Homo-oligomer: A and B are copies of this chain.
């Protein structure tokens, strides 16, 4: 770290960063020297401006005094100009993106979270990934109801007001689609981390534990073995959840990152099943039914099943196993000079807490242990950081997470040996990013 700024490195996240197409072309054509000079020049002038005036303001007679930038010499905008605030106009490219051609209609598609430009563990609600089966709806909360029926003594129908006055909990959890990183089962090298891992988000959720509602309705403790969760959107999404899990940490949620859920994420009510593939966290939740056997709904019998090498289908493989990914540097970004970089990424486990994350810059031959940012929470994203001095030679970046159960994130080869290459779901393999001599970062598959 002592050489950190002596040997400066530039990393520009593309395509969401501040780099212009011209600048990217400069990098791609190898004329980085020219680019560096022009940037330094532009930077130098601005520096003299700010530093000179600032120094002069303190009466120190530093470098030539130039004009201060306009934002330092003018009256800004008033408070509550945006009663509900929005990102800077310079951040317009950091958005959810749909994968072109992935599905036939956008109502049954995916919009991916731009992980390459995010920090920490909280995903801004406006950038939470989307996965719908019949499009999203904005339900009138005064008309929305949750029914609990089936093997219960007192079937009940709750209004939002009924639910929101109940004992509530707030917990930070990730939601990951079971199909996240699904393209990589084959040999498709999706270019950026937004598309490889962007069906992943993490929020602080607030709601009433499902166990409180089941108790409130007097569920049948002898015969009630499973619950069915049903959504109120056009797809009528239904999922089975075993009663042990339902009574454990499942929450009937109205709050996300401090405010009401967003419409695309189930407003006004959704289920959150921590650690389990996202499809079980049914959005626009309208019903919980208690039963004595799995419900074998369409979306658990036909979809969200794992196609094995012998042609059989594995069902109810719900838990999202321990996984991690380096979000920066990552595919589509450029290292514009050799020198110091902070390698950063995310780790998570559907089984509990992340215990350790190792990082390799040589394709898995050598590993160093990364720093984990606190808090490290159960079934939540964990942010890791580690220092790296790039020597300008080709490198292959990998991260490997280990959770508190001792599970070690596998290599893609290890997964394929067991589960083949035709599955869609539950790929938690180690991700590799290649750094070329040019500085270009790209997705590669390393055995």
Contact = CB atoms under 8 A, between A and B. Distances in A.
B75 A287 contact: no
Interface in A162-204: 162, 164-172, 204
A239 interface: no
Interface in A107-153: 107, 109-111, 117-128, 130-132, 134-143, 145, 147, 149
Contacts of A105: 78
A76 B234 contact: yes
A318 to B, nearest CB: 22
Interface stretch (A66-74, A412-420, A427-435): A66-74
Interface in A56-85: 57-58, 62, 69, 71-85
A212 B149 CA distance: 58
A51 interface: yes
Interface residues of A, number: 133
A85 to B, nearest CB: 4
B138 A88 contact: yes
Contacts of A143: 46, 69
B141 A232 contact: no
Contacts of A255: 119-120
A379 interface: no
A8 B415 CA distance: 52
Contact of A127 (B85, B127, B149, B166): B85
A225 interface: no
A110 B78 CA distance: 9
Given A76-B134, A79-B96, A128 B85 contact: yes
A117 B259 CA distance: 7
Contact of A80 (B50, B130, B172, B257): B130
Interface stretch (A10-18, A308-316, A360-368, A397-405): A10-18
Most B Cβ at <10 Å: residue of A89, A94, A130: A130
A267 interface: yes
Task: Give the oligomeric copy count.
Answer: 2
Interface stretch (A273-281, A369-377, A436-444): A369-377
A60 to B, nearest CB: 8
B137 A71 contact: yes
Given A8-B162, A119-B255, A109 B79 contact: yes
A135 B289 CA distance: 53
Nearest to A147: B51
A74 to B, nearest CB: 6
A120 B88 contact: no
A145 B77 contact: no
Interface stretch (A27-35, A240-248, A336-344): A336-344
B165 A342 contact: yes
A260 interface: yes
Contact of A123 (B141, B167, B258, B289): B258
Contacts of A140: 90
Contact of A69 (B156, B159, B171, B232): B232
11 contacts: A9-B165, A69-B232, A71-B137, A71-B138, A72-B286, A76-B137, A88-B141, A122-B257, A124-B258, A168-B342, A170-B373
Given A83-B95, A119-B206, A169-B373, 19 more contacts: A5-B216, A10-B165, A18-B160, A62-B149, A71-B234, A78-B98, A80-B111, A85-B96, A85-B126, A85-B263, A86-B126, A88-B268, A90-B268, A119-B170, A120-B257, A127-B258, A127-B259, A167-B342, A167-B385
